[in-house]
Chain A
Amino acid sequence: MIRLQNVSYSYEGCEALRTINLDISRGESVAFIGPNGSGKSTLLKLLNGIVLADTGSYVFDGKSVTRASLRDQTFARTFHKTIGFLFQNPEVQLFCPSVEEEVAFGPRQMGCTEEVIAERSEDCLKLLGIAHLAQRPPWHLSSGEKRKVAFASVLALNPDVLVLDEPMNSLDPKTKHFIKDVILSLIAAGKTILCSTHDFAYVEGLFIRGIVISSDHAIVRDDDYQKILADSAFLASQNIL
């Protein structure tokens, strides 16, 4: 479903990704692991078409993702509908006056009927346990609640692929467990989950595959997630544990 070949990316003269080769199939749950500044977030942004590779190719669902293809409105919108992105900082995703409108933003753009929009919003709010916040302005919520609202607003689009950038950041243990359960239910529903994380304790059992990105911005290991976690010497050598 996702294929990156020899992808490199630099930002203002600084190398952020080096010769990335990656194949991800539909329904996989993949964890991207690496130290700070290794390029995990940049890779996730690249997968979402926010940044574009300097060299190499990115093919999503059989179609090449390039500057030219993203200029095609129909392709870009279908692409963004199919792949949803939860930003590391959920605040940047919230710009509507109320939580309910925030979640309804995507379905409304898709042209769903008001009944479908209401159903989706209600389902997502219930799934994330924030139905009681529906009429609250997103800005005044706690960081955990903001993350849940951002998550719900992405889910409302029903994307096939969910890209989560450090979803457990700044959450209390109870909320982390809750988010983990939600992700587990999405994996069970057949969604492809791509997630960068540092918080190994709370993502136990979520991922099948792990991809380790080193501090020099290259993939150094693509393996069974449990095997990677069990290899303490390797994780220490990569400044991960």
Chain B
Amino acid sequence: MTPEWLLRSEGYAPRSDRDAFIDKSIRTFLSILSRIRSQTRGTQRKAFVDARVKLVSLLLLILFTSLSHRLIFVGLCGTVVLVILSLSRGEVILDILKIALAVAGFTFVIFLPSIFWGNLVGAVTVTAKVLICVAAARFLAATTEWRALTRALGAFRIPDLFILVLDFTLRYIILLGALSLDMLYALKLRSVGRNKDKTGSLSGIAGTLFLKSRDMAEDTYSAMECRGFTGTYRARRLPGLRVSDAFVLAADVAFVCAFAFIGA
């Protein structure tokens, strides 16, 4: 039988409470999920350069930029990175530069004492190196699908099983992120007054997520076993390189030569 209080519409004047944390958490989750989804959706245009080649180029850039003591070579690297960045969309450039400049700015602050001791060139060189490396790494992340990146690791003799674990990690971040977002929405919809135990609600969400992730992991492992998984995993073989990749690799060789002549 329907209880009497449920039959009548009730006037309700909510009490005030500070619960901006729910909205802030929702915004943060939305932004992170949106970013990850755009990287993993598989709808990006076919890449002009293979992820393996991009990864090799990035590692060479970071290695030789870090090794070089010549400001002119660091300047050259900076120019190359800026030219490559300029090929991207405006919002991507802004996103990359925002983070790279923030990290470089932080580095510069750390080096301030050495500037007071007269080591201006050293401080500027290190800051520029940080700016270049972070911008290049961010560019790789922004323009390459994460799945392609994890696959590219196979070219560096990284075990297939490790790549599989990386792929799973990414997938679980998306799934559990979406679940936590829905839980925060549910909490928000029922937060109609004063919650005296906000930390309790959040720890409840965290606990549920932990249990869910454990169940999902067990189910996935069982499903893999049912499909013949015995502990070894072979990733799909990567396709051959194209002309555009050969062009970038040639540019990498030129870059190494430039280091040998003006950077070392």
Chain A residues with a Cβ under 8 A of chain B: 12, 45, 48, 50, 73-74, 77-78, 80-82, 84-85, 87, 89, 91-97, 105-106, 108-111, 119-120, 123-124, 127, 139, 153-155, 157-158, 160, 185-186, 188-190
Contacts and interface: CB of A to CB of B under 8 A. Distances in A.
Contact of B12 (A78, A94, A155): A78
Nearest to B179: A92
A contacts with B: majority SS: helix
A188 B2 contact: yes
Contacts of A110: 12, 14, 192-193
A120 to B, nearest CB: 7
B119 interface: no
B205 interface: yes
Interface residues of B, number: 40
Count chain A CB atoms within 10 A of each CB in B192, B193, B200, B212 and give the residue with the most.
B192
Contacts of A108: 193, 196
B14 A73 contact: yes
Interface stretch (B181-189, B232-240, B244-252): B181-189
Given A96-B204, A106-B190, 15 more contacts: A73-B17, A78-B14, A81-B14, A91-B179, A91-B208, A92-B182, A93-B183, A95-B186, A95-B187, A106-B192, A110-B12, A110-B193, A123-B3, A139-B207, A186-B2
Interface of B: 1-3, 5-7, 9-10, 12-17, 34, 37-38, 179, 182-183, 185-196, 200-201, 204-205, 207-208, 211-212
Contacts of A77: 14, 191-193
Nearest to A77: B14
Contact of A109 (B6, B37, B195, B212): B195
4 pairs of A and B residues whose beta carbons are closest in the complex: A95-B204, A77-B14, A109-B193, A123-B3
B6 A123 contact: yes
A91 B212 CA distance: 9
24 contacts: A50-B189, A73-B14, A77-B14, A77-B193, A80-B190, A80-B192, A81-B14, A85-B186, A89-B182, A93-B183, A94-B208, A95-B201, A95-B207, A105-B190, A105-B201, A108-B193, A108-B196, A109-B193, A120-B5, A154-B190, A158-B5, A158-B6, A186-B6, A190-B7
A116 to B, nearest CB: 8
A93 B14 contact: no
Given A185-B2, A189-B6, A81 B188 contact: no
Nearest to B23: A71
Count chain A CB atoms within 10 A of each CB in B2, B34, B207 and give the residue with the most.
B2
Nearest to B191: A109
Given A78-B12, A96-B204, A87 B186 contact: yes
B197 to A, nearest CB: 9
B2 A127 contact: yes
B9 A123 contact: no
Nearest to A109: B193
Contacts of B38: 12
A229 to B, nearest CB: 27
Nearest to B193: A109
Contacts of A120: 3, 5
A81 B14 CA distance: 9
Nearest to A73: B16
Contacts of A106: 190, 192
B191 to A, nearest CB: 6
A98 to B, nearest CB: 11
Count chain B CB atoms within 10 A of each CB in A89, A95, A155, A185 and give the residue with the most.
A95
A158 B191 contact: no
Nearest to B20: A73
A116 B142 CA distance: 54
A154 B191 CA distance: 11
Contacts of B179: 91-92
A110 B212 CA distance: 29
B6 A80 contact: no
Contacts of B182: 87, 89, 92
Given A48-B189, A158-B5, A74 B37 contact: no
